[in-house]
Amino acid sequence: MPINPADGPILGTLYGSDAMRAVFDEGAYFQRMLDVEAALARVQALLGIIPADAAAAIGEAAAKGDLRTEVLAASARNVGYPVVGLVAELSRGAGEAGGWTHWGATTQDIMDTATVLQVREGLGLIEAEMRAITRALGDQARVHRATVMAGRTHLQQALPTTFGLKCATWALPFIGHIGRLPELRRRVEMVEFGGAAGTLASLGDQGIAVMEGLAAELGLHAPLAPWHVCREALAETVAFLGLICGGLAKFATDIILLAQTEVGEVAEPYVAGRGASSTMPQKRNPIASEYILAAARTVQGLVPVMLGAMAQDHERATGPWQSEALVIPQVFVLTHGALLHARAIAEGMVVDSGRMRRNLDLTHGLIVAEAVMMGLAPHLGRGEAHHVVKHACDIALTERLSLTDALARDPAVSSRLDRAAIERMTDPASYLGSAQAFVDRVVAAADRLE
């Protein structure tokens, strides 16, 4: 019976994904450990360390995965680790060849390498969703390249921008994350094989050959030396997921703010009953964004646990290592669930460009006060232009006029510019700077990821 909502059959649909849970499921973890044991036997047979028929029998038993849960549970409870029971079960399945199982390995070798195999598969799912989100946001940026809206700072209207640039800004972190991923993979997709104390003494002069062979057999990299107590790659992986969640949280926060009734510029995709209230029939809550934020906060809260677990004592740790198992599956499941929510929003968001324009006009042109000042500066000088525009803004606010009307009443302006010129100067669409060029740059970068 799951106690974490992310793992439940009902609430789990909100917090995670079946695909990622399948990667980090306990049964999948034990199968990964069996895969490592089988690969180790094959490599050692090739090197003449164990008999070839023994390796074949071990491989067959590992592939069957015939493990008795009650035996494993009893062993883990008694020993404190699952590998002693796993090796006993694997040896039972391999028959007479069972005595060659786990040759020269230690518990942490098997568990760490199994974890790395899970991480590799999990990163594949993460990457696929990041690419889909980047593609969707790139498409939205392209469509809304010239859709003018209010840019906001400190939750107040600041200067005009485009919704395309907003989408491009949402996409930007994921372009960076996709670029970081190959480097991360090279560091974390590393076999662990060091024996009891990181020396591989039980294998004589063949230890490094076995380590490198095991890495090749599993499609992993070989480390310079065993990393039993060097946990930075796994910590970096969890921190990487925390960074991804940071980008997701920014996206979700913006969607929530844009979906407010008083703003109403963007909404999550419409699905009948989605985000409904049990008492208020009119409600369409930004529920996907809310679960993105919940997942992001939890993932980022677990990053310090992994950083703290790097303080490992001597050649094998007394405690920090065990805490990693409480973190890694959870952060992968939550991050993937958040990415799935974000992908749905990115692909199907409802954009109200008319409402964007109406909101842009709420200040009757005051949002382009900077543009007017810069436009008048060549005629009046910058200091005088600032004074004139400030005075016009005060009049517009006091008398509830448009900035255009207030400027037209000022002789310092009307004597130099006609009404049409003033209207052009106060048009938000004429003060977008490099917004569209920035969109093009981000879209091009997203396209290159294909």
The catalytic residue positions are: 277, 316
- 148 forms beta bridges with 162
DSSP 3-state of 273:
coil
Instruction: List Cα–Cα distances, 206 to 112, 156, 200, 202, in angstroms.
Output: 21, 67, 8, 9
Closest CA to 149 of 403, 429, 375, 369: 429
Rounded Cα distance between 168 and 443, Å, is 7
Q: What is the Cα–Cα distance from 146 to 436, expressed in whole angstroms?
A: 7
With helix as H, strand as E and coil as C, how does 84-111 read? HHHHHHHHHHHHHHHHHCCCCCCHHHHH
φ, ψ of residue 160 to 5 degrees: the values are -65, 145
Whole-angstrom Cα Rg for the chain: 30
Measured CA to CA in angstroms, residue 395 lies from 182, 388, 403, 404 at distances of 58, 11, 8, 11
